[in-house]
Structures are given as C-alpha cells and as structure tokens.
Amino acid sequence: MTNSVVIAGGGTGGHLYPGIALAKALMKHDADIEITFIGTRQGIESRVLPREGLKLKTILSGGLLGKKGIGRWVNWIKLPVSLLQSMAFLLMHRPRLVVGVGGYVSGPVALSAWALRIPVLIHEQNTIPGVTNRWLGKIADTVAVTFEMSKKYFPAHKVEATGNMIREEFSEAKEANVPASGKFTVLVLGGSQGAHSINQAMLDALDALAPVKDRLQIIHQTGQADEAEVKAGYEHKGFSADARAFIYDMADQYRKASLIVCRAGATTLAEVTALGIPAVLVPFPFAAHNHQEHNARALESGGAARVILDKDVSGEALARIILDGIEHPGRLREMAEHSFQMGQRAATERVRRLCMDLMHRPC
C-alpha cells in the first residue's frame, strides 16, 4: 500500500470542510502523506478543492434519500457505476486508509474499501446519523461522531465521540470572538447554496433597521440564485453590505461578526462555537431526520444561540434580535462565552490520531 489516504464525501460545504480540515492536519504532521478526495463534478468540492491545492477524483454518483420518480431511478443506475469506479481507483492506488465524511459518495467508496480490506473510518457530523452512515458503521473499522448522543447508533466497540473536524484557523482560537471596534456586523449564511427564506427575511428587516443603518455592517452569503436580488435590495435601501454568492475566506468573515444568522448544519455550528460567536439559527426544515433542528436546540439549551424555525423566520423577527444585540451588547457577550465553552477545538486532532492508528495497524 502507498502512503496515501482517500477522503470520500462532499456535495455540500458541511460534508466537505471537515474533510479538508483532516487532510491538512494529516499533511502537516507527515509531509509524505498523499491525500486524494473522491467526489462528484456537481458537488461543491469541484470548486473548492482546486483552490485548496487538494486532488479530486470525480465519480458518477447520486443520492437516493428524498429523490422521487425518474431522478431516483437515475441515481439507482449510477450506484453500480460508482462502485466500479471506486473499486478501480482503490485497486490502482491502494491507499492505506479511506475516510468517509458524509454525502452520497461516501457509500460506494467505503464499501469498495471494505471489500478490498482497506481500513475505513467514517465521521458523522450530525446528532442523528443518516441511513448511509448507520449502515457503513457496521463495516467501518472506526466511527468518529460529533455528539456524544450519537454513539448509540453505532457498535460500541468502534465508536468514539471526537467533535466535528474544523480547519486550523478555527481551532487556534483562545477566547470568544471579539470583533474589532466599529460597526455592529451581522454575518448572514444560508449554507453553501444559500437560503431563500433567510435572504428574504433579511431584506424584509431593512426598513425596521433603517434607524441604525449607519451603525450596521452586513456580510451576506446569498447563494448563486439570489445574489443579484439581495445585492439590489441592500443598495436600494442604502445599507452597507458585502453580499456574495459564496464566501471562501470564511474564517476572516467570522471574526468580523458581532452576530451570525445561519442554518444549523453541524459544520457551521462547529466553526461558530470554536470561535465563540452568538448565533441566530434557522434550521433547514427538510434536513434528513430534522437533524438541523436537533443541532440548533443543543446550542440553544447551552445559552449560545436563539432558534427561529424556518416557517417563522421573518424580517420582524430578525430585526428585533439585531436591534436587541446593538442595544444590549452584554447579552451577546454572554452568548459568545457560552458558545466558546461548547466549542470542540481539538476535534480534528482527535480524528487525525484515529486515522494514524488505523494506518499503522498491522495487516
């Protein structure tokens, strides 16, 4: 076997960025390790990984959960193709370890690795594991989970609670986020694809926020579909806003934030708590097993966030919270401290060590 690791998964930033964090940690500790990601051309990995200087092998794959009609049949047809492509790649390169970080690509790659007797580690980011990871947990050598409550879904002898992997720029924080003095900065994120409901609510909030707009700075990841509309909305109302379809320099933008308004994907929450940022969480209502609301409630119960369900998100609700934050900074500071206390800044190192144990395990 070569001194290489394959990381399978992606599709969304929530699955991809933990894999990037792990890849960089592995290479930092051993410059001879070669990392290859396996993903799809359609996923976010095809845009992000080249910018990160990481290799990507694409295969034909598609998800089944939530698919109906012809789309489901097409993805069933893709499944044996993705298995063959995964098997061929692994046979050719013989990596010492395969890591599944979520997304539908993880399934065929991890299954192929198991068939070839290549060690497999899977990482589950959410409180309630998806069907694929629950099944892969039966064949994986090691399962790393973000939340202690997730351990019950996997065989006890192979599961460890590690936290969710985050990039080094997040894990090095020594205290809760303290934005530079100046304007009150709201960071708005709807996930890597954006969130129309959050985008619209922020635009609807502008009239109520008009009296404080000179004290306010907004940084907004809109997603591709809403970028033009959101930019025009801020300009029309005369607000200072940096609105973009996608934010690559996320760590820099987080550190500017006095308050974040975002979805409740596990990776976003891992980054937010690692830095200690007070949050308004609007869980994606169609997430499998409603895991985003479960994620959000965990932060809410810890005093780190306020939760607004997607059906209830409105301009009035967001404006009220933002105005309260401007007028009562002590409340936000308390939330920030609670958030920082919940952060799992050593998670990436814990998973890296599990990977090294598997790579050096006697055959």
pLDDT in tens, 305-318: 999 999 999 999 99
3-state class percentages of the chain: helix first, strand second, coil last, to nearest 5: 50, 15, 35
In which element (H, E) is residue 45 found?
helix 45-52
Total domains in the chain come to 2
pLDDT in tens, 74-95: 454 667 888 899 999 999 999 9
Is 50 exceeded by the pLDDT of residue 233? yes
User: Which of 48-62, 94-108, 339-353 is predicted least confidently?
Assistant: 48-62
Shared domain check, 200 and 140: no
Shared domain check, 121 and 100: yes
Shared domain check, 184 and 254: yes
Shared domain check, 349 and 338: no
Shared domain check, 177 and 151: no
Report the pLDDT value the prediction gives residue 172, as an integer from 0 to 100: 87
Report the pLDDT value the prediction gives residue 1, as an integer from 0 to 100: 63
pLDDT in tens, 121-165: 999 988 888 888 899 999 999 999 998 989 999 999 999 999 999
**Beta bridge partners of residue 161, listed in sequence order:** 145
Shared domain check, 217 and 161: no
CATH of the domain at 315: 3.40.50.2000
Structure tokens at 315: 């301009």
Shared domain check, 36 and 48: yes
Residue 10: pLDDT band (50, 70, 90) is confident
Structure tokens at 102: 């979520």
- Over its C-alpha atoms, the chain yields an Rg (Å, rounded) of 21
Domain that holds residue 317: 173-342
Contact 182, 198 (CB under 8 A): no
Q: How many Å apart are CA 128 and CA 266, to the nearest integer?
A: 11
Q: How many Å apart are CA 185 and CA 255, to the nearest integer?
A: 10
Residues 6+ apart with CB under 8 A from 335: 278, 279, 303, 304, 305
Shared domain check, 334 and 245: yes
Average pLDDT over all residues of the chain: 90
